Amino acid sequence: MAIIAALMVILIASHGPLVGEARSLPANYTYWTMRLVIEGLLFFVTRSALISYFDKRLSFTATTFTAIAASHLPFVLSVTAIDIALGYPELGIGTASDLDQPRLSALLLEMVYLADNHVAFCLLLSVPRWISATMTSPTSEADASAPATLLATLDPPLAGEVIWVEAQEHYVRITTTQENRLILARFSDILRELSTTKGMQVHRSHWVSEKAVISRQKSGQSLNLVLTTGDKVPVSRSFRKQIDHGALTQATS
């Protein structure tokens, strides 16, 4: 970023002399260095505040352009104050139109004149962060920031594979190939954690693993799944069609 700022200073100071009487090249370098340092600091401070406040809820693009927009007015006011202090004509002050031109209109024009330079410079300063973000592996970031799952945080850890989950009011009974445990949790949360496991919800209060189903038992209009544990799990009408179409391929008729 420092290299980018230095190149900008060299480019502008060498090819963009100040308005008014001719000034030396060192004076131009000093002036533009001061302007760009202020501009960069205002942009970085604004962007850091946005990142801290929104805690990564804004994308890189949204954060960058919001910071550019929010830092533009402070930058214009800072430059205007510097120019007035150095005696350069700003906002019509000290010119023949001093009494004719409204200060607010002049300030708005100044913001328009400096907008393209401000956007371009801030985007250049954002290039290193953009390169860093694109080089960072999304998978690594996701793994590092992903919270531990509920089942993984149980103490002691669950032994065996989960074969049957039953909701019991505010609790969930989890049956594995090696144990049976009642935990305080929401049934919907457990279902989300088991979304990658071969199995399905067969009732408003039941989930079964495909491996655990050994047969189906019909009694009139009702259907039960018989598990390897010997337990019978009811299948509700809303899930009956999926079972009939082979959703649990391990189940036999």
pLDDT (tens digit, 0 to 9) for every residue of the chain, 253 residues total? 556 555 655 555 445 555 444 466 677 778 778 888 898 899 999 999 988 887 667 788 889 999 999 999 998 888 888 877 877 655 555 444 544 556 677 778 888 888 888 898 888 888 888 887 777 545 444 444 445 678 888 888 989 999 999 999 899 999 999 999 999 999 999 999 998 889 999 999 999 999 999 999 988 888 999 999 999 999 998 888 888 777 776 554 4
Peptide bond just before 156 cis, omega within 30 deg: yes
- In the block, residue with structure tokens 């005696």: 87
| pLDDT value of residue 31 | 78
Q: Any idea how long the chain is?
A: 253
| pLDDT value of residue 35 | 83
| pLDDT value of residue 141 | 46
Alpha-carbon span 163 to 160, nearest angstrom: 9
| pLDDT value of residue 45 | 92
Q: Which residues of 79-96 are buried (b: 16+ CB within 10 A; e: fewer)?
A: bbeebeeeebebbbbeee
| pLDDT value of residue 8 | 57
User: What are the residue boundaries of the structural domains of the chain, listed by start?
Assistant: 2-145, 151-244
CATH number for the domain running over 151-244: 2.40.50.1020
| pLDDT value of residue 11 | 58
The dihedrals phi and psi of 167, each to the nearest 5 degrees, come to -80, 135
The closest alpha carbon to 166, from 118, 113, 204, 110, belongs to 204
Alpha-carbon span 176 to 197, nearest angstrom: 13
Question: Going by DSSP bridges, is the β-strand pair 232-235/222-227 parallel, antiparallel, or unpaired?
Answer: antiparallel
| pLDDT value of residue 101 | 56
One-character DSSP codes across 83-127: HHHHT---TTTTSTTTTTS-HHHHHHHHHHHHHHHHHHHHHHHHH
| pLDDT value of residue 253 | 47
The two three-digit tokens of residue 93, written as one number: 């002050």
| pLDDT value of residue 86 | 75
| pLDDT value of residue 149 | 75
Alpha-carbon span 161 to 176, nearest angstrom: 5
Question: Which residues make Cβ contacts (< 8 Å) with residue 159, sequence separation at least 6?
Answer: 176, 178, 179
Q: Which residues on adjacent β-strands are paired with residue 177?
A: none
Helix (H) or strand (E) run with residue 145 in it? helix 138-145
Q: Give the CA angle between residues 184, 186, 189 to the nearest 5°.
A: 120
Alpha-carbon span 152 to 214, nearest angstrom: 28
